[in-house]
Structure formats: structure tokens, C-alpha cells
Amino acid sequence: MIQMEKNKIKSGAYLYPMPVSLIGANVKGKANFMTIAWVSIVEQKPPMISISAHQSHYTNQGINENQTFSVNLPSVEMVEATDYCGMNSGKKIDKSELFEVFYGELKTAPMIKEAPVNMECKVIRTIDIEKGHHIFIGDVVNAYAEGKYLTNGIPDVKKFHPMIYSMGDKHYWKFGERIGQAWSIGRNFKKI
Amino acid sequence: MIQMEKNKIKSGAYLYPMPVSLIGANVKGKANFMTIAWVSIVEQKPPMISISAHQSHYTNQGINENQTFSVNLPSVEMVEATDYCGMNSGKKIDKSELFEVFYGELKTAPMIKEAPVNMECKVIRTIDIEKGHHIFIGDVVNAYAEGKYLTNGIPDVKKFHPMIYSMGDKHYWKFGERIGQAWSIGRNFKKI
């Protein structure tokens, strides 16, 4: 029997650290971006991604209007711009000129050139959990990256430097050391 | 105009690195655990979390049966056990003795004592995206941690050492340096 004392703790959102994304949408015909961490891959074939964003976000208006959005993974070098987009609502400031914006096949999902990885997504499902947030599930129609961030055609975290956000201490973090390979290091496991 | 060449890349799930969790469920009355990274907070008040897991997982049977699951955040020290749970299906091996298991209020959501952070969750919505995966949205009914992992009552990533998984290179990673504070570092942003 392992000796440890488990305490019941406040069951808040700060328990789960997550990577940071800039979500893009056209609102009233202009590119807008919001900073969120509640983004998750949900399907592999075809690739799908979910985002959860409070319905009060200005960006949500654009997603609802066009049924498209983009997911842009900023690098650690973009931490100030990323936080700026989280601190300032599109209701108050015009974010359409903050970045070099490009569009893909979907035409209404603005993507950020400076962000190393971009995905343009088409909404296939909107889930209202009736507590304030909307979950948008999107088909990842296309993804983009510069060649310098790729290894064997796939974005390489050692090259594109994504950020992780922990709500507990409200800080952005870098990736650290590589610990081990999946589907492999588990072979060493021995139950003590 | 920034000079850069965006390449269209394969739009796969490997684009988005995510923290690793061990998801627990009772299947046929026995604790079982699966390793997944597709976990996301989706609501703050009340706290809710979503997981996306292929319906072929043995653990899914238990979630469907009891409408409960647990999310356990393993530390980097548990990398071998975590990967082992991902490499071996509960259909073939009995995982009920791998860890010290405890139960909370929900009675059917087995949690791992050795994992620094645990959440017991009640399913409030199951979404079938009809491509193989099921998304379970759960109310985080209670959360648990040992005192040594907490700062001001909140789990501290510097103390509990969560792991991040990047599907691109199939590796587990540590957290690295802290870059900056959210809702603050954005004040330094200046559009060039």
C-alpha cells in the first residue's frame, strides 16, 4: 500500500495544462483572433479538432456566421502577441492588421503567416453545453507550415516551439526535454 | 510583407501536441485505464472536461456502462507505466492491479493514487462524430491531489510534472521554462 494522502481540491479548469492557440474567424468581413487553450484533436481520419470558447467571444460571432475557423499554433517567440490577443477583445480593437493574414480554400478562415502551424477548419458540429461555452468541432480541411518547421513533412516541436498554458499559475511554458518514445518505452514497465 | 513560404502539409492529428492522461473506467466491475492525449477542458463553471476515444477501446465499454470516467494526470516519472497502458488493451490484459486504485463519490470511476492529479467525472453528453471516435463530455465532480503538488491549493506544474505528447514524433516531453505571465506579458506587444 502506497502511503499518500489525497486531498479533495477545487475541481477547476486550472487542473489541466494545454497548448495555446490563436483561433481565427472573419467577423463582419474582417479577420479576428482569440487566444484559447481549450483545443483538442478529436478524430484522426479525417482529422478533426474541437475548440471550446465562451459564447461572449467576438470570434464566436464569426464562427457562427461563416461556419469556419482557423487554428494557428504560435511559437514561443510570439508570446507577447498571443497574450495581447487574449487580453483585448475584437469588440474593442481591430486585430485584422496585427499579423500577416492569409486565406486558404475556405476563404473565410483567416490564418496567421507568422504562426508556424495553421489549420483551416469547417464546422461540422456546434455543441452548446448550456453553461456559457460553445464547443465547435471542425474538419481540418487543410494545414500549412513553412518547410523549416518540418521533419519528414510533419511539424516538429523542436523546430516550431509551441507554447503550453497552465491556468493554475496563469503562465506560458516552453516544451522541455524529450522523455521517451511512445509505443516503446512502456516495454520497460514493471509493476513493483 | 513577411517573406515566407507556406506549404500545404498533411492535415493530421499529429499537428497538435497535447498533455497525456490516463483515463479510468470500470469495465465488467474491474478498473481499467487507457492512455490518451485528446483531453480538453471545455467549461469553467461548473468545470467540465472532454475526452475523445476510439469506440473500439475497452475503456469505452465501461464509460458507456457506468456513465462515469476518471482523468488521471501522470507525472514524467510514470512514463513507462503510462506508455504500457497505451500499448496494451484491457481486452488482453488485466490492468486493475497496475496501480493503487481509489474511488470517490461516483463509486465507478477508478482513480490512480500514484498520479498527482485525479478527477472523477460524470458523463453529461456523448457525441458520436461517426468516424470512429466518441467524445465524452464530463462534469468534473471532484478533483484530488496530494498536498506536496499544490501551491495555494492548486496543482503546480513545477511540482507535479505533467507530460506532453507530440504525435508527430511519437514522443513524450517534459515541461520546460516558464516564458511569461498571461494577461500581463501581452502589454509589451508592439505591432512592427
pLDDT band of residue A192 (cuts 50, 70, 90) is low
Q: To probe the interface with B, which of A54, A169, A174 has the most B CB atoms within 10 Å? A: A169
Residues B148-166, mean pLDDT to the nearest whole number: 94
SS3 of residue A156 by DSSP = coil
CB B18 within 8 A of CB A160: no
Taking CA atoms, what residue in A is nearest to B71?
A16
CB A90 within 8 A of CB A97: no
Taking an 8 Å cut-off on Cβ atoms, the answer to whether A151 and B169 are in contact is yes
Percent share of chain A, pLDDT over 90: 92
Closest CA–CA distance from residue B91 to any residue of chain A (Å): 17
Chains A & B: contacts with CB separation below 8 Å: 361
Residues A37-47, mean pLDDT to the nearest whole number: 96
The larger pLDDT score, comparing residue A5 to residue B89, is at B89
Cis peptide before A46 (omega within 30 of 0): yes
Element counts in chain B: helices (H) and strands (E): 3, 15
pLDDT band of residue B13 (cuts 50, 70, 90) is confident
Residues in chain A: 192
Percent share of chain B, pLDDT over 70: 98
- Sheet holding B171-181: strands in order across? A18-19, A164-166, A171-181, B171-181, B164-166, B18-19
Give residue-wise pLDDT tens across range A106-144: 999 999 999 999 999 999 999 999 999 999 999 999 999
Amino acid of residue A186: G
Rounded to whole angstroms, the Cα distance separating B184 from A79 reads: 11
Residues B164-189, mean pLDDT to the nearest whole number: 95
CB A22 within 8 A of CB A75: no
Closest CA–CA distance from residue A127 to any residue of chain B (Å): 9
Which among B49, B57, B14, B126 is positioned nearest to A47, based on CA atoms?
A: B14
Rounded to whole angstroms, the Cα distance separating A187 from A23 reads: 38
pLDDT of residue B11: 86
Percent share of chain A, pLDDT over 70: 98
pLDDT of residue A5: 87
Residue written as grid cell 508556424: A116
pLDDT at A37 over 90: yes
Rounded to whole angstroms, the Cα distance separating B42 from B137 reads: 8
In degrees, rounded to 5, the angle at the alpha carbon of residue B12 between the alpha carbons of residues A49 and B15 is 75
CB B182 within 8 A of CB B95: no
Closest partner residue to B40 (CB to CB) among A14, A52, A79 is A52
pLDDT of residue B3: 67
pLDDT at B183 over 90: yes
pLDDT band of residue A14 (cuts 50, 70, 90) is confident
Which among A147, A150, A78 is positioned nearest to A115, based on CA atoms?
A: A78
Give residue-wise pLDDT tens across range B169-178: 999 999 999 9
Residue written as grid cell 490564418: A111
Residues A1-9, mean pLDDT to the nearest whole number: 80
Q: B121 - beta bridge partners?
A: B69, B140
Give residue-wise pLDDT tens across range B20-41: 999 999 999 999 999 999 999 9
pLDDT of residue A11: 86
Rounded to whole angstroms, the Cα distance separating A104 from B7 reads: 11
Half-sphere exposure of A162 (CA within 13 A, CB side): 28
Which cell numbers in the block locate residue A16?
489541466
Closest partner residue to B80 (CB to CB) among A127, A131, A185 is A185
pLDDT at B90 over 80: yes
